[in-house]
Amino acid sequence: MCTATRWLTKGASIALALCLFLPSRTTPAEESVWQKAIREAIHVREQGRYAEAEHAQLLALTEAEEFGPEDRRLALSLNNLAALYHATGRLREAEPLYRRALVIWEKDSERLEVASVLSNLVRLCLDQEKYVEVEPLSKRALAIAQGLAPKHPEVANSLNNLADLYTIQGHYAQAEPLYRQALAILEENFGPEDSEVAYGLSHLAKLSVIQARYAEAEAMHRRAIAILQKNPGQKGSSLASSLNNLADLVLDQGRNAEAQALYQQAQTIWEGILGAGHPNVALCLSNRARLLKRQGRLAEAEPLYQQALENQRICSNQSHLPF
């Protein structure tokens, strides 16, 4: 995997559109089970309780299938289940769900949902390294969102996705203004202390690292971490990703003890929400082992390398990627 791709997958925040577009032309009895399941799935997912979220989302999808093959509630259920699978690394399962949701929403006059699911699909293509699809899908999502509301968060999602592609391709001068525009939109919509702003900061910080602007990158990583730590409902993989990214940065500056502590914090969070066998945990284990090897502590590094390799072996056929 090239350096730019490693930059993207090692902790890039997946901008998942889990907005609740609840239709009004239905009876309470018809919506009750579906609506409750949707809300429960979103609630427990925000707390990192992914198994419970999957159970609730599958219930919502089962209910939504009864509403008809072109119902917007079915599209929403498909999108949200895909987003959950995407967030937990089940990329092969997520893709057909996103694409089916897109087909349904494209038939509807309300187009913001189209931009939302397009952004999710773009993020998935980036994680799957299907780069040929990314630019046209991103530009389409961006055009739809800007046409409806130039300062909408969906515009920021599309800008970040397009900038990620340019970064992978080494077009840093094209990427940076898009990241900064996205960050400004997120700050305007949510305020400076929202988790969405933390995601925007993380994107821009990683580009700053590539451009050797290390002090700027560290400040942005630390601001992102502080924001995520203040939002109890967001103490999930995004926080772990930011900790891991900051650890990479301080390690490159020779601050070994600080890096080790940050890697351990990230690993603990990922183990708690994703399980000890997840590739994100393997990523932290490998990073910790690399640090110990650099210090000449080979006996301590070896078991960490072995554990990381075992994690990767178990998950090699599951299309998981660090996120």
Reported as a single tens digit per residue, the pLDDT across 279-297 is: 888 889 999 998 988 888 9
Spatial separation of the C-alpha atoms in residues 106 and 90, rounded to whole Å: 25
| Greatest C-alpha distance within the chain | 67
Closest alpha carbon to 320 in 128, 148, 142:
128
Q: Which residue has the tokens 């700053």?
A: 208
Spatial separation of the C-alpha atoms in residues 160 and 180, rounded to whole Å: 9
**What integer is the mean pLDDT of 107-113?**
77
118 in Cβ contact with 136 (< 8 Å): no
Residue 272's pLDDT is 84
DSSP secondary structure letters along 105-150: HHTSS--HHHHHHHHHHHHHHHHTT-HHHHHHHHHHHHHHHHHH-T
Residue 319's pLDDT is 42
Query: Is the model more confident about 272 or about 247?
Result: 247
63-77, 98-112, 306-320: which is most confident: 63-77
Fold of 236-323: 1.25.40
Reported as a single tens digit per residue, the pLDDT across 299-318 is: 888 888 888 888 767 655 44
**What integer is the mean pLDDT of 156-172?**
95
pLDDT bucket at 94, cuts 50 / 70 / 90: very high
Reduced DSSP (H G I as helix, E B as strand, rest coil) percent helix, strand, coil of the chain, to 5: 75, 0, 25
Q: What are the angstrom distances between the C-alpha of 168 and each of 9, 247, 277? A: 11, 21, 28
Two structure tokens written together for 93? 């399962």
**What integer is the mean pLDDT of 177-193?**
96
pLDDT bucket at 320, cuts 50 / 70 / 90: very low
Domains of the chain: which residue ranges?
A: 3-224, 236-323
Q: Is the pLDDT of residue 236 over 60?
A: yes
Closest alpha carbon to 21 in 101, 132, 139, 126:
101
**pLDDT, mean over the chain:** 85
144 in Cβ contact with 118 (< 8 Å): yes
pTM: 0.81
CATH number for domain 3-224, candidates 1.25.40.10, 3.30.420.80, 3.40.50.620, 3.40.1530.20? 1.25.40.10
